[in-house]
Structure 1
Amino acid sequence: MNQELIPYLTFENTKDALEYYKRVFGATDIFREAPTVKQAAEMAFNDDVDLESMTMNGHFKIWGKEIWCADSFLGKPVVSSLISLMFKVDLNDSDAVSEMEALYKQAVNSEEVKVIVTFEKKSSGNRYGQIVDKYGVTWIFNAVRND
């Protein structure tokens, strides 16, 4: 069985969120589609709604990992500290650890995230860090020994 678990995030303005993730996390493979007139009618949008500013489906990749997204059509989304996304690599893979650290530093250097735990070596010997982006999503950077 071939299965995937893909994060799906909801934003008030996905168009802006995609630009944020591109700027702060270096997001790639960005895709966004607006609702069609037929979809707008099915969802009972007002006739004066600017469909091109809305996002029915979108996705992007951060560090090669796919994330899907869309606008919240049921009202303003609630920011939650319950959503965390974790990158995990083998601590013995120095290239992967270096790439992870570069992604962490890129986000932190943007000054558009809040550092919760600095990415560094911990007493366990592992390297670990946490940041929270402006949408309330926690990003965990975890380099662990897979011995």
Structure 2
Amino acid sequence: MNQELIPYLTFENTKDALEYYKLVFGATDVFRESPTAKQAAEMAFNDDVDLDSMTMSAHFKIFGKEIWCADSFLGKPVVSSLISLMFKVDLDDSDAVTEMENLYKRTVESEEVKVIVTLEKKSSGNRYGQIVDKYGITWIFNAIRND
């Protein structure tokens, strides 16, 4: 059975969020599609709405992991500390650890995130850190031994 669990985020303005994730996180493989006129009619949008500024579906990759997103068409999304996304790498895979550390460093140096836990070696021997982005999403960086 081929299954995946893919994060799906909702933003007030996904078009802006995509730019943020490209700039701050180095998001790649960015795809965005606006609602069609037919979809807008089905969703009872006002005739004067700018469809190009709206996002029906989008996705991007960070650290090689796919994330999907769209605009919140049911009102303003609520920021919640309940949403966390974790990157987990094998501590013995030096290339993966370096790539994760570089991503963490990039986000922190952008000054567009809040550092919750500095990425460093912990007493367990693991490397761990946390940041929160401007949308309230917590990103966890975790390098552990896969025993």
Give TM-score scaled by structure 2 length. 0.99
Matched with 1:10 is: 10
The SS at the match of 2:4 is coil
Cα separation, 2, equivalents of 1:5 and 1:71: 20
* Counterpart residue type for residue 8 of structure 2: Y
Please tell me the root mean square deviation across aligned C-alpha atoms, in Å: 0.4
Amino acid at match of 1:84: S
Answering whether residue 135 of structure 2 is matched by residue 135 of structure 1, we say yes
The residue aligned with 1:89 is: 89
Q: Structure 1 unaligned runs (5+)? A: none
Report SS of the residue matched to 1:17: helix
4+ residue stretches of structure 1 with deviation over 3 A? none
SS of the residue aligned with 2:143?
strand
Structure 2 counterpart of 1:120, one-letter code: E
| Identity over aligned pairs, percent | 88
| Matched ranges for 1:93-104 at <5 A | 93-104=93-104
**Which residue of 1 is the match for residue 61 of structure 2?**
61
CA distance in 2, matches of 1:31, 1:96: 25
Deviations 1:2-37 (A, max 9, x none): 000000000000000000000000000000000000
Q: CA offset at residue 146 of structure 1? A: 1.1
Deviations 1:96-120 (A, max 9, x none): 1000000000000000000000000
Alignment match, 2:30: 30
Deviations 1:61-103 (A, max 9, x none): 0011000000000000000100000000110111110000000
The question of 1:119 aligning with 2:122 is answered no
Deviation for aligned residue 1:137:
0.4
TM-score (norm 1): 0.99
